[in-house]
Amino acid sequence: MSLVPTRKSASGFTLLELIVALLLFAMISGVMFGSLSLAGRSWDGGEAKAAQVAEMRQTEEYLRAQLTSEFPLRSRKVVEIPLMFAGDRDEMRYAAALPSRVVEGGVYLFRLKVVKEGDKSRLVQERMIPDLDATTDQEFRDPDRSILAEGIAEIHLSYYGRDANANDADAPTWRDRWEDKHRLPMLIKLDVKPEKAPAWPTLVIEPRQAPEAGCRVYDTNRNRCLGV
C-alpha cells in the first residue's frame, strides 16, 4: 500500500465555460437594457401625452369662458361705429375682459393667432388697451403676449351667421371670414392642428349677443348702432 498522497484534480471553470457565461450575461444585460429603455420611453411618452392633453383642455376652457362673455365694444369715433371684432380664417380680434385672477381688470382688445418664431410655432393671445377715440382700425404694436399652447401648426376659425345687412329671415351659414361690423357671429368654431399630435377636438362657442350695448340709439330693423 502506497503512502504517497494522490493530487486532486484542479477545480474551476474552463475557458470555454467562462466564454459561454460571459455571452449569456451579455445577452441578458442587453435584453434588460432594451426593456428598461422601452419602459423609459413609454413613461416619457405618457408624460408628454398627459401634458399635451392638459394644455389642450386648459386652453379650450379658457377660450370658451372668455369668448362666451365677449364684450360688444365699439369704435365711437369711426363713422359706422363698428364693433371691435374682426374674424379671418387664421386670426381673430375681439374685445373681452381679463380673467378674474389677473390683477389689472377692464376690457381689452385681444388677437388670437399662431406665431412662428424660428423652429417654434405657438398659439398666442395678444392684448392691448383699446382706444375708443381711434378713427381707424387699431394696430397691435408691442402688445402684451400670452402663450396658450406650444407646437401648434395652424388654426382654422369659422363663423356662423348672416351676411352683413341681411335680415333675420335669411338663413345663417358658416364662413371663413366675418364681415358684419354691427353684429357678432352667432357661433364661432375653432379647429387647432398641432405639429406632432392629433388635432384638438373642435371647439364651438356662442358669443354673448348684445350688439346694442354701448349704443345710445340702436336700429333694431337694420341691426346697427346709430349713436353712442
Strands 173-175 and 187-194: unpaired
Question: What's the pLDDT at 73?
Answer: 84
Q: Is 162 part of any domain?
A: yes
With beta carbons less than 8 A apart as the criterion, state whether 130 and 84 touch: yes
User: Could you list the residue range(s) of the whole structural domain that residue 66 is in?
Assistant: 57-227
Q: Is 26 part of any domain?
A: no
Burial label for 45, CB within 10 Å (0-12, 13-18, 19+), is exposed
Q: Is 3 part of any domain?
A: no
Q: Is 218 part of any domain?
A: yes
With beta carbons less than 8 A apart as the criterion, state whether 123 and 156 touch: no
Question: What's the pLDDT at 183?
Answer: 85
Q: Is 129 part of any domain?
A: yes
What is the pTM assigned to this prediction?
A: 0.71
DSSP structural state of residue 143:
-
Q: Is 21 part of any domain?
A: no
Q: Which is nearest to 214 in space by CA: 91, 98, 84, 33?
A: 84
Instruction: Give how many domains the chain has, as a whole number.
Output: 1
Tens of pLDDT, residue by residue over 197-222, are: 899 999 999 987 666 666 767 777 76
**Which stretches in the chain have pLDDT values below 70?**
1-13, 34-49, 99-105, 209-214, 216, 222-223, 227-228
Q: Is 46 part of any domain?
A: no
Burial label for 33, CB within 10 Å (0-12, 13-18, 19+), is exposed
Strands (E), the chain: 86-87, 91-97, 107-117, 120-128, 144-150, 152-161, 173-175, 187-194, 203-205, 217-219, 224-227
The 3-state DSSP composition of the chain as helix, strand, coil percent (nearest 5) reads: 25, 30, 45
Question: What's the pLDDT at 42?
Answer: 57
> How many Å apart are CA 108 and CA 228, to the nearest integer?
19
Question: What's the pLDDT at 23?
Answer: 83
Question: What's the pLDDT at 192?
Answer: 95
> How many Å apart are CA 208 and CA 88, to the nearest integer?
19
Q: Is 221 part of any domain?
A: yes
Question: What's the pLDDT at 211?
Answer: 65
Half-sphere exposure of 203 (CA within 13 A, CB side): 24
> How many Å apart are CA 215 and CA 180, to the nearest integer?
17
> How many Å apart are CA 121 and CA 72, to the nearest integer?
30
Burial 56-92 (b: 16+ CB within 10 A, else e): beebbeebbebbeebbbbbbbeeeebbbbbbbeeeeb
Which region, left, alpha or beta, applies to residue 19 given φ > 0 means left and ψ of -120 to 50 means alpha? alpha
Question: What's the pLDDT at 107?
Answer: 86
Question: What's the pLDDT at 122?
Answer: 95
Cell of 130: 383699446
